[in-house]
Amino acid sequence: MSLIVDIINPEQDKDNSLAVDCRETGWEIYEFSSVNDLVSSNNKVFAPLLILSVPESWQKEDHSEAAALISDWHDEHSKTQLLLLLPKNYNKSDKAAIEFGARHILFKPYSSYDLFQLLAQIAQGVGKREQRYALDRVNQNPEGFENIIGISQPFQDVIQLAKKVASSESTSIMITGENGTGKGAIAKAIHIASPRKNGPFIEVNCAAIPRNLLESEFFGHEKGAFTDAKKRKIGLFECANGGTIFLDEIGEIDYMLQAKLLKFLDSRTIRRVSGTQFLPVDLRIISATNRNLKQDVLEKRFRTDLFYRLNVVEITLPPLRDRTDDIEPIARNYTKQFAKRLKKGKITLTDEAIKILKQYTWPGNIRELINIIERAVLLNTSGQIEADDLPLEVEIYETTIDIGKQHGTIKVDLPPEGASLEEIERGAIVAALTRTDGNVAAAARLLKLERGTIRYKLRKHGIDPSEIKENFKNGQYEPISVTD
Q: Inter-axis angle of helices 451-461 and 421-435, to 10 degrees?
A: 120
The architecture of the domain spanning 142-318 is 3-Layer(aba) Sandwich (3.40)
Provide the CATH number for the domain formed by 4-126 in this structure: 3.40.50.2300
Confidence tier at 483 by pLDDT (50, 70, 90): very low
Between 173 and 128, whose confidence is greater?
173
244 touches 196 (CB < 8 A): yes
Strands of 150-240 (E only): list them: 173-176, 201-205
Cis peptide before 109 (omega within 30 of 0): yes
pLDDT of residue 140: 40
pLDDT of residue 405: 42
Q: Which 8-state DSSP code applies to residue 51? A: E
Distance of alpha carbon 184 from alpha carbon 311, whole angstroms: 16
Question: Reduced to 3 states, what is the DSSP secondary structure of residue 96?
Answer: helix
480 touches 431 (CB < 8 A): yes
Domain residue extents for the chain = 4-126, 142-318, 321-389, 397-483
The architecture of the domain spanning 321-389 is Orthogonal Bundle (1.10)
Between 38 and 294, whose confidence is greater?
294
User: Beta-carbon neighbour count of residue 48 at 10 Å?
Assistant: 22
Report the amino acid identity of residue 201: F
- Average pLDDT taken over every residue of the chain: 79
Of 55-59, 164-168, 427-431, the one with minimum mean pLDDT is 55-59
Question: Half-sphere exposure of 465 toward its Cβ, with a 13 Å CA cutoff?
Answer: 19
pTM above 0.75, yes or no: no
**Cα–Cα distances in angstroms (integers) from residue 115 to residues 104, 106, 343, in the given order:** 11, 8, 34
Question: Reduced to 3 states, what is the DSSP secondary structure of residue 337?
Answer: helix
End-to-end CA distance of the chain: 61
**Cα–Cα distances in angstroms (integers) from residue 419 to residues 403, 408, 427, 433, 481, in the given order:** 20, 23, 11, 21, 11
16 touches 48 (CB < 8 A): no
Confidence tier at 131 by pLDDT (50, 70, 90): very low
Question: Reduced to 3 states, what is the DSSP secondary structure of residue 385?
Answer: strand
Q: Which 8-state DSSP code applies to residue 243? A: S
pLDDT of residue 44: 56
Beta bridge partners of 233: 221
pLDDT tens column, 391-434: 886 544 444 444 444 445 566 666 655 667 777 888 888 888 88
Cβ contacts of 15 within 8 Å, gap of 6 or more: 9, 53, 85, 108
- Percent of the chain at pLDDT > 90 equals 31
pLDDT of residue 58: 72
Tell me the DSSP string of 397-437: EEEEEE--TTT-EEEEEE-TT---HHHHHHHHHHHHHHHTT
Q: Inter-axis angle of helices 421-435 and 465-473, to 10 degrees?
A: 50
What is the chain's alpha carbon radius of gyration, rounded to the nearest angstrom? 29
Does the domain at 397-483 match CATH 2.60.40? Answer given as no
**Cα–Cα distances in angstroms (integers) from residue 60 to residues 36, 116, 359, 408, in the given order:** 20, 30, 56, 80
User: Beta-carbon neighbour count of residue 60 at 10 Å?
Assistant: 7
Q: Inter-axis angle of helices 112-125 and 211-219, to 10 degrees?
A: 10
pLDDT tens column, 439-481: 888 888 888 888 778 888 888 888 888 877 666 555 544 434 4
Among the ranges 97-106, 142-151, 283-292, 405-414, which has the highest mean pLDDT value? 283-292
Confidence tier at 137 by pLDDT (50, 70, 90): very low
- What is the distance, to the nearest Å, from the Cα of residue 87 to the centroid of all Cα atoms in its chain? 33
pLDDT of residue 284: 95
Question: Reduced to 3 states, what is the DSSP secondary structure of residue 478?
Answer: coil
152 touches 158 (CB < 8 A): no
Of 289-298, 331-340, 446-455, the one with minimum mean pLDDT is 446-455
Nearest to 204 by CA among 195, 196, 213: 213
Of 114-123, 192-201, 422-431, the one with minimum mean pLDDT is 114-123
Distance of alpha carbon 154 from alpha carbon 205, whole angstroms: 27
Cα 224-205-292 angle, rounded to 5 deg: 125
Tell me the average pLDDT across 239-260: 90
Between 78 and 274, whose confidence is greater?
274
Is there a common fold for 142-318 and 397-483?
Answer: no
